[in-house]
Amino acid sequence: MKTRGGDVKIDGGCHCGEITYEAEINPDNVIICHCTDCQTISGAPYRVNVPVLVERFRLSGAPRTYRKTGDSGDAVATTFCATCGAALYSSKGETPSFVFLRLGGVKQRAQLAPKKQGFCRSAMPWALDIRDVLEIPAPAPSKDA
Ligand SMILES: [Zn+2]
Ligand SMILES: [Zn+2]
């Protein structure tokens, strides 16, 4: 997935497949966000964002946008699939130069380990190290599958 200058090509989309995208990103900029908006909107203890320059982002489909003022004080637009509800990306301000893709929809997500984390004061302390949490075995494959 390498392109020029250490940037990589990625692609992904929502759960139901109505929305897809492609982007070129710098993997060194992948960042965890522990802000309370990310916790509430994602339903998860933290969110992982992949910053993409707008001109290096190609979207297919018609997602919906929810607008609010973020913890940072900026106007934030959060974009998601209206059919399956999957989070897609956010952007700041009226003419954003970046979108912040949600890592969970990116196909190459296993290779995009975050290099930074922000809003650590609102981090869930128990989410910072889950290695000792009891692992339950994966369910056996269904006979119908
Ligand atoms: Zn969808
Ligand atoms: Zn956040």
What is the structure's pLDDT at 6? 80
CB environment 97-134: b (16+ within 10 A), e (fewer): ebbbbbbebbebbeebebeeebbeeebeeeeeeeeeee
For domain 4-123, which architecture applies? Beta Complex (2.170)
Least distant ligand from the CA of 71: 2
The tens digit of pLDDT for each residue in 77-116 reads 999 999 999 999 999 988 899 999 999 999 999 999 999 9
What is the structure's pLDDT at 32? 97
> What whole-number distance in Å separates Cα of residue 86 and Cα of residue 124?
22
Residues 52/143, Cβ–Cβ less than 8 Å: no
Indicate the pTM of the whole model: 0.87
Instruction: Check residue 28 and give left, alpha or beta (phi > 0: left; psi -120 to 50: alpha).
Output: alpha
Least distant ligand from the CA of 38: 2
Residues of the chain short of pLDDT 70, as ranges, are 1-5, 71, 144-145
Least distant ligand from the CA of 16: 1
Least distant ligand from the CA of 31: 2
Distance 16 CA to ligand 1 centre (A): 4
Distance 15 CA to ligand 1 centre (A): 5
Distance 14 CA to ligand 1 centre (A): 4
Contacts of 99 (CB under 8 A, 6+ apart): 51, 52, 54, 57, 79, 89, 90, 91
Regarding beta strands 57-60 and 20-25, do their DSSP bridges make them parallel or antiparallel, or are they unpaired? antiparallel
Distance 104 CA to ligand 1 centre (A): 13
Q: What angle do CA 127, 133, 139 make, to 5 degrees?
A: 115
From residue 91, alpha-carbon distances to 5, 87, 98, 107 in Å are 24, 12, 6, 21
